[in-house]
Structure 1
Amino acid sequence: MKVLIVSDTHGKDEKLEEAVMRETPFDYLIHCGDVEGREFFIEALAECPCTIVSGNNDFFSDLQREAEIELEGHRILVTHGHYYGVSMDIYGLVDEAKSRNVQIVMFGHTHKPMAEIRDGVLVINPGSLSYPRQEGRKPSYAVMEIEEGKEPEVELRFLSR
């Protein structure tokens, strides 16, 4: 199963459209928050099942604060991350994932892409397609290949500015 993971699009649709077109076909889309009112557009654009959570800029949103989903036998926690202090450190988020028996946690908020294993938990931040903050400041997202009984494979991908 191919999963497209994005975050922090902040209502700017051009780069999101570019990532979707580049990665089509995919089976599932996860958005880690700060969609700024564009959830219906994202769902229509993806044309597949989606999980979208609210971020700190999703004022008056009906989106859920976080979601626990299961894909191909892997338990996943999706959150924006601001309630876990991810701007300072991700250990609180990793501890939360472990306490829920979750193998994968996905978050946004920092606008800095990462994919690594911390304390046995696969931690993924796709970065931001609209306002990247990492060195080089290229818009980023992640693609995860996930199958039951196998370790997920994650690749961070970048668009040109």
Structure 2
Amino acid sequence: MRILIISDSHGEARLLREIVDRVNADHVIHCGDFTTDRNELPNVPMTVVRGNCDWEEVPEEDLWQVGQARFFVTHGHRYQVKSTLLPMRYRAEEAGAQIACFGHSHFPVCEQDGPILLINPGSISSPRGYPVPTYAVLETGEENRAEVAFYTTQGTPVHDRGGTFRWGE
């Protein structure tokens, strides 16, 4: 399964649609701060949560599951993600998730922390502390294994992020 993980689009609805069309994912996870009307988001299978800049009535947190992979999705502003990922890891474990997807810091992260895979796709509109805007694509097919790749908004691979991960171990 191919999953597009995106965050912090901050009103860039046209760019978001371009990326969704290009990636052609089976599912899209938007980690908040879309800052548009909900009806401007692409009409595709999507899990979307509210960021600190959003006004639409969508969940603050959500759980989504495909196969053996349970995803905890949140924006991250309530979990101190700009300074530490520990509260995010603990919340994902508490939710029974193997993969935590979040945004807020506008900085791309993909790392294994114990049994939890933590993914921040960065921002497609305004990166912070990273030279280019980014999004992530997670591909899974084999049980407990994921390939995560990062891309610029033009679709160019970002080679210093991502990799192959196993969760729950």
Q: Relative to structure 1, is the Cα distance of residues 27 and 58 closer, same or farther in structure 2, using a 3 angstrom cutoff?
A: same
Higher mean C-alpha displacement, 62-71 vs 10-19:
10-19
CA–CA distance in structure 1, aligned partners of residues 97 and 14 of structure 2: 33
Tell me if 1:57 matches 2:53: yes
Counterpart in the other structure of 1:140: 134
**3-state SS of the aligned residue for 1:82?**
coil
Counterpart in the other structure of 1:31: 30
TM (norm. structure 1) is 0.89
CA–CA distance in structure 2, aligned partners of residues 29 and 159 of structure 1: 15
* Alignment: residue pair count: 154
Q: Counting strand residues as a fraction of each chain, which structure ranks higher? A: 2
Counterpart in the other structure of 2:113: 118
**3-state SS of the aligned residue for 1:19?**
helix
Alpha-carbon RMSD: 1.5
Structure 1: give runs of 5+ residues left out of the alignment: none
> 2:74 is matched by which residue type in structure 1?
T
User: In percent, how many aligned pairs have the same letter?
Assistant: 38
Aligned ranges for residues 1-161 of structure 1 at < 5 Å?
1-24=1-24, 26-44=25-43, 48-59=44-55, 61-136=56-131, 138-147=132-141, 149-160=143-154
Whether the 8 Å contact between 2:72 and 2:92 is mirrored in structure 1 is yes
CA–CA distance in structure 2, aligned partners of residues 69 and 98 of structure 1: 14
Q: Counting helix residues as a fraction of each chain, which structure ranks higher? A: 1
TM (norm. structure 2) is 0.85
Higher RCO, 1 vs 2 (CA within 8 Å, ≥6 residues apart): 1
The one-character-per-residue Cα deviations of 1:51-73 (angstroms, maximum 9, x if unpaired) are: 000000013x2110010110122
Whether the 8 Å contact between 1:5 and 1:141 is mirrored in structure 2 is yes
Whether the 8 Å contact between 1:34 and 1:56 is mirrored in structure 2 is yes
CA–CA distance in structure 1, aligned partners of residues 7 and 103 of structure 2: 6
Whether the 8 Å contact between 2:3 and 2:28 is mirrored in structure 1 is yes
Q: Runs of 4 or more off by more than 3 Å in structure 1? A: none
Structure 2: give runs of 5+ residues left out of the alignment: 155-169
Give the Å deviation of 1:42.
Answer: 1.7
**3-state SS of the aligned residue for 1:34?**
coil
